[in-house]
Amino acid sequence: MSICPKNKSSKGRRDKRRANWKMTAPKLVKCSKCGALMVPHRVCRACGSYNKKQVINVD
């Protein structure tokens, strides 16, 4: 036996369910030390700092 829907789902009901699948662009902020764009609450890839403190060495 396979799973079969009891009643037909309308296009509107089906599309409402799929409306939340959209992708969003990542939010970017300026690094407080070097000014490069970065994802918030992450170490800056350009200078290696987090919260104005040097965390990793970037060559």
Token pair 């036996």 in the structure block, residue: 1
- pLDDT at 32 > cutoff 70: yes
pLDDT at residue 2 is higher than 80: no
Q: Do residues 30 and 20 make contact, with C-beta atoms less than 8 angstroms apart?
A: no
Q: Please compute, for residue 54, the number of CA atoms within 13 A of its CA located in the half-sphere on the CB side.
A: 4
Provide the pLDDT for residue 22.
85
Q: In this structure, how many other beta carbons lie within 10 angstroms of the beta carbon of residue 44?
A: 22
pTM for the full model?
A: 0.58
